[in-house]
Amino acid sequence: MECIYTKSKALSAVPTSFCPGCMHGTAIKLIAEVSEELGIENDLVMVAPIGCAVFLGAFVEFDSFGSPHGRPGATGTGFKRSNPDVPLILYQGDGDCASIGLAETMHAANRGENFTVIMINNQVYGMTGGQAAPTTLPGQKTTTSPAGRSIEGSGYPIQLAELIASFKAPKYVTRQSLHTPKNVLAAKKAIKKALEIQINEGGYSYVELMSACPTNWKMDPKDTPKYMEDVVLKEFPVGDLKG
Amino acid sequence: MSEKVVKKGNEAICEAAIRAGCRFFAGYPITPQTTATEYLSWRMPEAGGVFVQAESEVAAINMVAGSAMAGTRAMTATSGPGLSLMTEGLSVIAGTRLPTVIVNIQRSGAGIGSITGNQSDFYMVTKTLGHGGLTGLVYGPESIQESVDIMYESWDLAEKYRTPVIIMTDGVMGQMMEQVEMPDFKEAPDLSEQPYVAGKRKGGRKKHLIMDSPYFGPKATQADNLEYNYAQYEKVYESWDENEVRYEEYMTQDAEYLIIAWGTSARVAKTAIRHLREQGVKVGLFRPITLVPFPKKQLAAIDKNKIKGILTVEMAVPSQFHNEVMHYLDKDIRVEKYRRGGGNMVLDEEIEECVKKML
Amino acid sequence: MARVEIDANYCKGCGLCFGVCPKNLLRASENVNAKGYNYAEQIDAEKCTACKLCAIICPDAAISVYK
Ligand SMILES: Cc1ncc(C[n+]2csc(CCOP(=O)(O)OP(=O)(O)O)c2C)c(N)n1
């Protein structure tokens, strides 16, 4: 028998430290696979900011560097401007990218920095134990919105992909999801397209990936795909927004 | 070739950076730093480097970190409120031990304060860089020439010790014009193999996993590794006390009275000393050039049998430098202080008066 | 002829693969791995079509597919 699918060589020989059913793992797996397909596994550099992404560098064979919470847009700008030939992914959580780092995210997008942002939208602050994020759904219970997110107090979820797509500079803006095999394959295609744009023509790309955080959603991982399909994707529809 | 030019302080120090091999600048305009950002907006690209007007000082300092991790000699410049915003990034840069240069062109006061020159960031920069208690080399030049000379060396030192270097000038020095000797252009070294540099992997080099907290090391747990690695950082800082302390003694040979001051205050003190000498007063100056490492031993060695009185001079109210100096001086020496705050300059005639009161 | 191989050291027993197998060939093992997870196992391997859906959904890259 022939092996037709196995772990990417761009993944390290250690299991990730993510919780069972956490789709950070799926996203990192896809990045690894795409890097192999594009032959950039030795060149790609990843920014691993604070959040569950912080130990990312241990799970991949790429070079990686850290960034303070929310600052990848700035750290990445400094790096890429000085190293324009090195493909770069900013791997960010939704809190990182859309709350504390909103200014850095927006300005990097508006400048059209030549890198790819991969944003993991799990609607909570995963690493700190499930507090409300700017992406938390209306009525969603978190440890800091025990009665459910109130629109009066906290506003509506920030739809970052839509915001970024409103800028002129970005070349490719998309929202995908990781909850079904079909969506995972579409997400992979999107990551590949984003990196191809970065490498071949240059320009900013943003790939938002709808993900589950079963631990902080307090949900059996097996139940997360249906919840995402029925509830989450209603607020955050998947599809290309630009490019 | 080195050349003599007449330049504004801010422009001179930026030109020295370019000549030292700096090829990345990110900054956000703030008086009295603005002319530095303006100068580099055209000069940096002309020299083949990258200039970015950042969206904030928070972004600027992190851009500098990113560029340093690409193996580039990178810098930023700011003033008070901007420095406050940079503390997060400074902490990260000190934690990652990234060779970078930060120029703080001091203005006065807390909050928005005032835009005139001052020395009131002394504590903020010398005690710790942001949270966590780490530090870097800190210089307090007294003239444009000295700023230029320190800037020209700063990445060599930053790379030697893997540390940020902070140069503390002020609004006075930044705006004034002086003739300076500009050093020759030098080439930055190839840093691509350094463990804090990502990308441009050659051959089969192992991946670089660069983190601002040194979690990895010879110990079993994260906490033990952090403790162990920070202790190694501390050894580097302690080596500075031996090898990197710089200070100037001015007319101290026969001095019976001493002024202790740094930066612009020291420069004004020199004028006062010349006047006092004309009047027969045996007074000299002790001037720390490095604020980290601070010349502790040298201050402690000031002889109470020789020195009848000391005057500290600084542009900061409440006092900062004065308090620091007091830690190290012999307790039997009489010490007075003269300081001006709120952006007021220290004046040579007031310094003279203060010294005369001690006679 | 096809089969999947599940790396018990990587599998965290999340069960996302159970629901995507068109033939319902995946389930939680009674055994636990070093981390204490009941890792996934394949039953009736002869019915496997090597569709790869389980490997694609797996967040932990624990599944290899053979054909
Ligand atoms: C300046 C700062 N504020 C707060 C924190 C605490 N903190 C660490 S991770 C995190 C939230 C991360 O959430 P997100 O970016 O959505 O990523 P996730 O962990 O969900 O993947 C917070 C608030 C921090 N490390 N630094």
Name every residue whose Cβ is closer than 8 Å to that of residue B248 and which is 6 or more positions away in sequence: B142, B266, B285, B286, B287, B289
pLDDT in tens, A18-71: 999 999 999 999 999 999 999 999 999 999 999 999 999 999 999 999 999 999
Kindly report the average pLDDT of chain B as a whole number.
97
Q: Is the pLDDT of residue C15 over 70?
A: yes
Mean pLDDT check: name the lowest of B114-118, B289-293, C5-9: B114-118
Q: How many CB pairs under 8 A join A and C?
A: 86
Name every residue whose Cβ is closer than 8 Å to that of residue B254 and which is 6 or more positions away in sequence: B282
Q: Is the pLDDT of residue C21 over 70?
A: yes
Q: Between B75 and B202, whose confidence is greater? A: B75
Residue A120 touches chain C, beta carbons under 8 Å:
no
For residues B338 and B355, give the distance between their C-alpha atoms in angstroms, rounded to a whole number.
10
Percent of chain B residues topping a pLDDT of 70: 100
Q: How far is the CA of A130 from the centre of ligand 1 (A)?
A: 10
Helix (H, G, I), strand (E, B) or coil at C52: coil
Q: Note the pLDDT of residue B203.
A: 79
Helix (H, G, I), strand (E, B) or coil at B358: helix
Q: What is the architecture of the domain spanning A24-145+157-242? A: 3-Layer(aba) Sandwich (3.40)
For residues B175 and B38, give the distance between their C-alpha atoms in angstroms, rounded to a whole number.
13
Neighbouring chains of C at 3+ CB pairs within 8 Å?
Answer: A
Q: Which two tokens stand for residue B25?
A: 């600048």
Closest C-alpha to A30, from A108, A116, A128? A116
Q: Which two tokens stand for residue C30?
A: 């009674």
**Parallel/antiparallel/unpaired status of strands A45-49 and A63-67:** parallel
pLDDT in tens, C39-62: 999 999 999 999 999 999 999 999
For residues A57 and A63, give the distance between their C-alpha atoms in angstroms, rounded to a whole number.
7
Name every residue whose Cβ is closer than 8 Å to that of residue A152 and which is 6 or more positions away in sequence: none
* Dihedral sign computed on CA atoms, order B203, B204, B208, B209: positive
- Hey, of C11, C12, C63, which one would you mutate to test binding to chain A, going by the most A CBs within 10 A of its CB? C12
pLDDT in tens, B170-182: 999 999 999 999 9
Interface of C with A (CB under 8 A): 1-3, 7, 9-10, 12-16, 18-20, 37, 50, 52-53, 55-67
Helix (H, G, I), strand (E, B) or coil at B44: helix
- Domain regions of chain B by residue span: 3-182, 248-358
Spell out which residues of chain C touch residue A59, defining contact as CB-CB under 8 Å.
none
**Which A residues 162-181 touch C at CB under 8 Å?**
178, 180-181
CATH class as words, domain C3-66: alpha beta
Percent of chain B residues topping a pLDDT of 90: 96
Q: Is the pLDDT of residue B119 over 90?
A: yes
Atom of ligand 1 nearest to the CA of A213: 20
Q: Is the pLDDT of residue B2 over 90?
A: no
Under the banding of pLDDT at 50, 70 and 90, the label for residue B1 is low
Spell out which residues of chain A touch residue B86, defining contact as CB-CB under 8 Å.
none
- Hey, of A63, A90, A107, A114, which one would you mutate to test binding to chain B, going by the most B CBs within 10 A of its CB? A63
Cis amide linkage into residue B293, ω under 30° from 0: yes
Q: Note the pLDDT of residue B170.
A: 96
Name every residue whose Cβ is closer than 8 Å to that of residue B300 and which is 6 or more positions away in sequence: B328, B329, B330
Q: Note the pLDDT of residue B76.
A: 98
pTM given for the model: 0.97
How many Å is the Cα radius of gyration of chain C? 11
Interface present between C and B (3 or more CB pairs within 8 Å):
no
Name every residue whose Cβ is closer than 8 Å to that of residue B170 and which is 6 or more positions away in sequence: B32, B105, B106, B107, B117, B118, B119, B263, B264, B315
The DSSP secondary-structure symbol of B333 reads S
Closest C-alpha to C3, from C40, C41, C46? C46
B309 pairs with which residues across the strands?
B257
pLDDT in tens, A178-191: 999 999 999 999 99
For residues C23 and C45, give the distance between their C-alpha atoms in angstroms, rounded to a whole number.
10
Query: With helix as H, strand as E and coil as C, how does chain A read?
Result: CCEEECCCCCECCCCCCCCCCCCHHHHHHHHHHHHHHCCCCCCCEEEEECCHHHHHHHHECCEEEEECCCCHHHHHHHHHHHCCCCCEEEEEEHHHHHHHCHHHHHHHHHHCCCCEEEEEECCEECCCCCEECCCCCCCCCECCECCCCCHHHHCCCCCHHHHHHCCCCCCEEEEEECCCHHHHHHHHHHHHHHHHHHHHHCCCEEEEEECCCHHHHCCCHHHHHHHHHHHHHHHCCCEEEEC
Helix axes A72-82, B57-68, angle to 10 degrees: 40
Q: How far is the CA of A96 from the centre of ligand 1 (A)?
A: 6
Spell out which residues of chain B touch residue A78, defining contact as CB-CB under 8 Å.
24, 26, 52, 62-70, 74
CA dihedral A37, A38, A42, A48 (to 10 degrees): -90
Q: What is the architecture of the domain spanning B248-358? A: 3-Layer(aba) Sandwich (3.40)
Which amino acid, A125? Y
For residues B61 and B101, give the distance between their C-alpha atoms in angstroms, rounded to a whole number.
10
Q: Which two tokens stand for residue A95?
A: 């809190």
The DSSP secondary-structure symbol of B236 reads H
Q: Note the pLDDT of residue A109.
A: 98
Closest C-alpha to A139, from A152, A126, A120? A152
Q: Note the pLDDT of residue B202.
A: 83
**CATH of span B3-182:** 3.40.50.970
Cα nearest neighbour of B203 on chain A = A42
Residue A63 touches chain C, beta carbons under 8 Å:
no
Ligand 1 binding pocket, CB closer than 6 Å: A 50-53, 69, 93-96, 120, 122, 124-128, 133
Neighbouring chains of A at 3+ CB pairs within 8 Å?
Answer: B, C
* Dihedral sign computed on CA atoms, order B117, B123, B127, B129: negative
Kindly report the average pLDDT of chain C as a whole number.
96
Decide if B201 and A42 are in contact by the 8 Å CB cutoff: yes
| Residues in chain A where the model's pLDDT stays below 50 | none
Of A45, A77, A83, the CB nearest to B63: A77
Rounded average pLDDT over B271-296: 98
Decide if C56 and A18 are in contact by the 8 Å CB cutoff: no
For residues B204 and A37, give the distance between their C-alpha atoms in angstroms, rounded to a whole number.
19
Residue A6 touches chain C, beta carbons under 8 Å:
yes
